Structure 1
Amino acid sequence: MLVGISTFAFFLCVAKTVVGSPNFIIFFADDVGYGDFQSFGHPTQEKGPIDVMGDEGMRFTSWYSGDSICTPSRASLLTGRLPIRIGVVGPNRVFWQWDQGGLPKSEITIAEALQQQGYATGMVGKWHLGINEKVANDGGHLPMHHGFEYVGTNYPYGQNWKCDPKKFSTAEMSEKCFKYKNSTFVQQPTDMINSTFEMVEDAKDFIMRNKNQPFFLYMPFLQAHCTLFCSPGFCGSSRRGIYGDNINEMSWAVGEVLDTVKRHSIQENTLAIFISDNGPQLEMCVDGGSSGFLKGGKGSTWEGGIRMPAFAWWPGTIPAGEVNHEVVSTVDIYATLLELAGGNADEDDVTRDSKSISGVLRNESPSPHEFLFHYCSDRLMAVRYGEYKISYVTQMRTTDFTDFCYEGVPDDDRITNLRCYDDTVVSHDPPLIFNTDEDPAEEHPLNPARHGLMLSHVNEAVRRHKATIVPTRSVLGLKNAALQPCCNYPACVCNYEHPYESQQKSEL
């Protein structure tokens, strides 16, 4: 991939291999909530390898996502920027399978930045940052165009509630349910029964191939987005039901990958982080996740939509069994990994929101953030400042999902907080103020008259922040029906056992 030298000004431009540079693994769950793990307080969820990451490493209580919904959250992780800065905003809020837009190629992802530091880069799992660009099946927005040289089993659109063969026909499933290897179709519609196992095998293969050089593995899971599924070894494994089965299966996958790291004796040179992209889809009732005692879920900037379960693991470097209360964000992954890899981030770049938390991971320093800014699309909703959360705009959320909890077919309107500007969104003047240390459930707003100086300080920070936002054309909602993925036109149905030859498995 050829990129202008000036584009790379924020990090060392000459590719190099830094002996001793740590390996990085980012596990990224889908719609998993703050209360979905035993170590975060769920009373019936079984303990698994994800919880063990906290026993052997660090658990974070105030880790915030880059957005409250899927596509923009993923964009913020890979670019270190808030979605508003890169055009990942708009009424739809996510890429649809037929959109011609994608993660802007002008953005230097963390994978591309680490390649310049001599890292091998790999990805398996859910993408959801664009598919085709000019013609059907050109794969112009897929991961290999954003710095991932190894791409195993991947789901360009993720998985959707239509990917349920018990409720939908093959034709209905084919529209949104498909699996790739690199840029080549494997299945349409998707059979997800073995998907976690296949992702794990690809992740192991990537680690084995690159165990003697620094590597970056990005592993975004399908769990626990609807439709819920489970492999035979995990169906019925949880007291919590099918959702708990999903958590157990995902946790097993994390354990398998970390065990591979241990088997190759590279654990003391490997940083692994587990987080979720956004809060749970509460409208799915028992088939959705849990925000615990936090208010709200997916789509909202209430704490339940943006405050994530998070674990960091790096034996010998991260203190074992630590619970960290510092306020950090998914956008910080960019600067953190780049710094640890020996890169040189431009600290004067106000358009990159990422800050290194390497000192936080070692329990040696406080959060580098004075403020975190939380958006719904291009609308600033709230600001986190120390222990305070200042909400200028909130989304109304019903707490009664009786009408949703039935054995039937859902639809896209089941997420009640997709909108950022309609009559379900409420502005507050003066804003709502919560002490999220004392009141993480956001039940008891503070009296703004007693916090005038603090509000003035935050309002000035908002003014300065907004001055750094450059209007950018939205890359979402650019529908082109001709770009609908179709592996065997016009049938759009396929199941290829050996889709390509370039990445055949090697013996472990």
Structure 2
Amino acid sequence: MKNIFFTFLIGISLFSCKGTSSVSSKEKTETTKPNIVVILCDDLGFGDLSSFGHPIIETPNLDAMGKKGLHLTNFYAAAPVCSPSRVGLMTGRSPNRAGVYDFIPSPKKSDDLRDLVHMQAYEQTIPQRLKTVGYETCLTGKWHCNSKFNSDAQPKPSDFGFDYWFATHNNAAPSHENPNNFIRNGEKVGEIEGFSCQIVVGEAMNWLDKKESDNPFYLQVTFHEPHEPIASPKDLVQKYLPLSENIEQAEYFANVENMDKAVGRLLEYLEKNFGENTLIVFSSDNGPETLNRYYRAKKSYGSPAELKGMKLWTNEAGVHVPGIFYWMGKKTFQGTSDAVISSLDFMPTFCELTGAELPDVQLDGESFASVFVDGKFERTKSLLWSFYDALNDRVVAMRKGDYKIMCRLENDSIELPKIHNMHAGNEDLIKQAKLTDFVLYNLKEDISECEDLSLKNPEIFKKMKASLESEYSDLLKGSFVWKRDELEK
């Protein structure tokens, strides 16, 4: 498939260039390398965009992007919470292999060793691979891939292939409005006037304006919106107030539209300056936050639509998120696709599209490049989530084809407690736990996970169960175990 699609890519690239007869072979090869832009929201629900069914929020820019490109109804995040999802996206590997099992807190010393957690220096990321084939790289927005942000004690974004970075450790503080916690290439910036999503897009455009070479670029734009603490432009809040239950809900609706406006600014800029060959992918790191789950979640009115659960669930709403792809300047498939695609697939896909070599490690994603040809992609790898701190009871879940199987973890008939991190003190507890109490769903017919088919379809259940047991065992063997003494020598 790689050679077939690369031939297709060269063909459409040369077709779009004028005067190809006078272009050298080297220049023709260069035209096949697209600029790549990844736009990632924070806690955006599957039902939060108007094109994904929200009855009130207006997101015209993303809706238009989906009509020009691919509107993906089966797109998945690598994890149901922030940090592991971002690590999975950038590495193409289950975050368990990287040792990032939950969101990463501040570096306060803890018994479960979460203060040590970070994406380790040996992990290979998308920007690192693309730099090997001439790409320039930039990160603007949220990072959240280590506990000690902007410290020499742990790798920084620049250690993972970003030539330029403008980021925060976690959320914009004190809120999305006038944030004061951005770091630019290791230096504190101080308070910046405006709203975070607009600031992040402005920084991205400034970087592109100052880029002197004609090399292709990889740009990762990671919004803080609509994660708490939410702050939104007053005019948008007033627009939604008559349509909302209260001002907090109006703030959320306005927050999503403000993010859409920021996307619109970026799309307009890219069309004008790099519209001949730029691939843009848009999604969310996980599903929507539960209203009032913690004291600051007072404006978390995100919508899971018909999906079961919310953020931090291994049910669909935790990981099944909006997905939109748009390849500016290329004649690719346009319309809705039900192909099952994950952010884990970005690494192998981008490497295929650019000619970069894949990292020499076990990847859990696979290239979906064929989706640009006809909207179809036949997945061969299962999607497996093992999230030990899930709010629901069945913490292990796997999608394979149209089916999804889920189960609990038990030791001596006692369910495992909620676990933030795998470390030397609980490794045996986790690895000796048994998979129990399975349920089976047909997501094509039952996206809301209402009907357990484990008894109704015994043959399918038997195959899915055996596959889950095998793949979970493989993941456990490759999961990283944190040990304080080894890391603090």
TM class by shorter-chain length? Answer: 0.7 to 0.9
Counterpart secondary structure, 1:268: coil
Question: What are the equivalent positions in structure 2 for 1:41-120 lying under 5 Å apart?
Answer: 41-89=53-101, 93-96=103-106, 98=108, 99-120=115-136
Give the equivalent residue in structure 1 for 2:163.
149
Alpha carbons of structure 1 residues 248 and 31: separation in structure 2 relative to 1, 3 Å: same
2:331 equivalent to 1:323 = no
Counterpart secondary structure, 1:448: coil
Give the equivalent residue in structure 1 for 2:466.
459
Name which of 284, 290, 302 aligns with 1:282.
Answer: 290
Once the two structures are TM-superposed, the CA of residue 193 in structure 1 deviates from its matched residue by 3.7
Counterpart secondary structure, 2:308: coil
Which range moved further: 458-467 or 248-257? 458-467
Alpha carbons of structure 1 residues 288 and 474: separation in structure 2 relative to 1, 3 Å: farther
Q: Which amino acid aligns with 1:183?
A: G
Give the equivalent residue in structure 2 for 1:248.
257
Q: Which amino acid aligns with 2:30?
A: V
Question: What are the equivalent positions in structure 2 for 1:105-184 lying under 5 Å apart?
Answer: 105-130=121-146, 132=148, 137-138=151-152, 140-152=154-166, 154-159=167-172, 163=174, 178-184=181-187
Judge conservation of contact 1:32–1:280 (CA < 8 Å) in 2.
Answer: yes
Counterpart secondary structure, 2:252: helix
1:303-351 CA distance string (max 9 Å, x none)? 00000101000135364641110111110011111110112336xx672
Alpha carbons of structure 1 residues 267 and 466: separation in structure 2 relative to 1, 3 Å: farther
- Cα separation, 2, equivalents of 1:268 and 1:191: 33
Paired residue total:
420
1:402-456 CA distance string (max 9 Å, x none)? xxxxxxxxxxxxxxx98699xxxx9974511111111111112114353234423
Counterpart secondary structure, 1:314: strand
Counterpart secondary structure, 2:47: coil
Counterpart secondary structure, 1:287: coil
Judge conservation of contact 2:100–2:117 (CA < 8 Å) in 1.
Answer: no
Counterpart secondary structure, 1:391: strand
Q: Which amino acid aligns with 2:225?
A: Q
2:221 equivalent to 1:209 = no
Name which of 35, 40, 54 aligns with 1:28.
Answer: 40
Question: What are the equivalent positions in structure 2 for 1:214-363 lying under 5 Å apart?
Answer: 214-231=216-233, 234-238=236-240, 239-240=243-244, 241-264=250-273, 266-283=274-291, 284=297, 287-317=300-330, 319=332, 321-345=334-358, 351-363=362-374
Q: Which amino acid aligns with 2:269?
A: T
Judge conservation of contact 1:328–1:369 (CA < 8 Å) in 2.
Answer: no
- Cα separation, 1, equivalents of 2:176 and 2:287: 26
- Cα separation, 2, equivalents of 1:420 and 1:107: 18
- Cα separation, 2, equivalents of 1:165 and 1:214: 31
Larger relative contact order (CA 8 Å, sep ≥ 6): 1
Judge conservation of contact 1:126–1:155 (CA < 8 Å) in 2.
Answer: yes
Judge conservation of contact 1:385–1:458 (CA < 8 Å) in 2.
Answer: no
Counterpart secondary structure, 1:383: strand
Judge conservation of contact 1:387–1:436 (CA < 8 Å) in 2.
Answer: yes
Judge conservation of contact 1:25–1:217 (CA < 8 Å) in 2.
Answer: yes
Alpha carbons of structure 1 residues 445 and 53: separation in structure 2 relative to 1, 3 Å: same
Give the equivalent residue in structure 2 for 1:506.
none
Judge conservation of contact 1:31–1:298 (CA < 8 Å) in 2.
Answer: yes
Which range moved further: 330-339 or 280-289? 280-289
Alpha carbons of structure 1 residues 449 and 165: separation in structure 2 relative to 1, 3 Å: closer
Counterpart secondary structure, 2:40: strand
Give the equivalent residue in structure 2 for 1:472.
480
Once the two structures are TM-superposed, the CA of residue 233 in structure 1 deviates from its matched residue by 5.7
Judge conservation of contact 1:359–1:365 (CA < 8 Å) in 2.
Answer: yes
Q: Which amino acid aligns with 1:389?
A: K
- Cα separation, 1, equivalents of 2:285 and 2:362: 21
1:7-48 CA distance string (max 9 Å, x none)? xxxxxxxxx996111000000000001010111111011132
Judge conservation of contact 2:197–2:225 (CA < 8 Å) in 1.
Answer: no
Give the equivalent residue in structure 2 for 1:10.
none
- Cα separation, 1, equivalents of 2:65 and 2:483: 36
Judge conservation of contact 2:176–2:230 (CA < 8 Å) in 1.
Answer: no
- Cα separation, 2, equivalents of 1:184 and 1:193: 20
Counterpart secondary structure, 1:217: strand
Which range moved further: 17-26 or 455-464? 455-464
Give the equivalent residue in structure 1 for 2:449.
442
Counterpart secondary structure, 1:19: helix
- Cα separation, 2, equivalents of 1:24 and 1:194: 24
- Cα separation, 2, equivalents of 1:435 and 1:447: 10
Q: Which amino acid aligns with 1:229?
A: A
Once the two structures are TM-superposed, the CA of residue 94 in structure 1 deviates from its matched residue by 2.2
Q: What is the aligned-residue RMSD (CA, Å)? A: 3.4
Counterpart secondary structure, 1:358: coil
Give the equivalent residue in structure 2 for 1:383.
398
Once the two structures are TM-superposed, the CA of residue 131 in structure 1 deviates from its matched residue by 5.5
- Cα separation, 2, equivalents of 1:436 and 1:261: 36
- Cα separation, 2, equivalents of 1:63 and 1:146: 25
Q: Which amino acid aligns with 2:272?
A: R
Once the two structures are TM-superposed, the CA of residue 53 in structure 1 deviates from its matched residue by 1.1
Q: Which amino acid aligns with 1:213?
A: N
Q: Which amino acid aligns with 1:207?
A: L
- Cα separation, 2, equivalents of 1:44 and 1:418: 37
Counterpart secondary structure, 2:198: helix
Judge conservation of contact 2:364–2:381 (CA < 8 Å) in 1.
Answer: no
**Identity between Structure 1 and Structure 2 (%):** 27
Alpha carbons of structure 1 residues 440 and 286: separation in structure 2 relative to 1, 3 Å: farther
TM-score between both structures, scaled by the size of structure 2: 0.77
2:188 equivalent to 1:185 = yes
Which range moved further: 191-200 or 38-47? 191-200
Q: List gaps (5 residues or longer) in structure 1.
A: 1-15, 167-172, 395-416, 481-508
Alpha carbons of structure 1 residues 231 and 364: separation in structure 2 relative to 1, 3 Å: closer
- Cα separation, 1, equivalents of 2:235 and 2:204: 20
Counterpart secondary structure, 1:282: coil
Once the two structures are TM-superposed, the CA of residue 462 in structure 1 deviates from its matched residue by 3.5
From the two aligned structures, give the one with the greater helix fraction: 2
Counterpart secondary structure, 2:30: coil
- Cα separation, 1, equivalents of 2:419 and 2:307: 19
1:210-239 CA distance string (max 9 Å, x none)? 473200000000101001012456443434
